[in-house]
Amino acid sequence: MAQKIDPLIEALGLSMWRVQRKITSQMSLHKEIGLTVPQFHLLHIIAREKKARVIQLAEQLDVKSSAVTVMLDRLELLGLTARVQDENDRRAVTVTLTEKGEELLKEAQNRSLVLLTEHLAILKPEELEKFAEYYTLLEKQER
């Protein structure tokens, strides 16, 4: 038996999906600086981890290691990442950002924040604060 869905929840879900699609498509502006949205996300994870193994990156992106390897090949060709032999395990390779990768990531992050600021400008400061609280609650629930 199908569960009855509250029309408000259904409308909210549809709105969230539309807004996310719009923002994601606008994030494709990163292509102007040579990045796709998945590459931007991967660079962000590598920056956060400092040194990461492919398997860790794949887990965080929820994709197969082979998909990450293909993305890393492209990022390495662009001079944004480097593969380095792990100091503790000679069989293992870690991935780091190059200086160029760090600079490009900062530019992409700035563009993302400007874009998000533009989208959220319709909210009053107190509404933005509540919105942030709600999203934090949703995020905690997903962990």
pLDDT (mean) for 26-35: 68
Enter the tokens of residue 66. 């082979």
Phi, psi (deg, nearest 5) at residue 105 = -65, -45
Map 38-79 to HEC letters.
HHHHHHHHHHHHCCEEHHHHHHHHCCCHHHHHHHHHHHHHCC
pLDDT (mean) for 41-56: 89
Report pLDDT digits (tens) over 60-81: 888 898 899 999 999 999 999 9
Identify the structural domains of the chain with CATH numbers, from first to last.
28-142 (1.10.10.10)
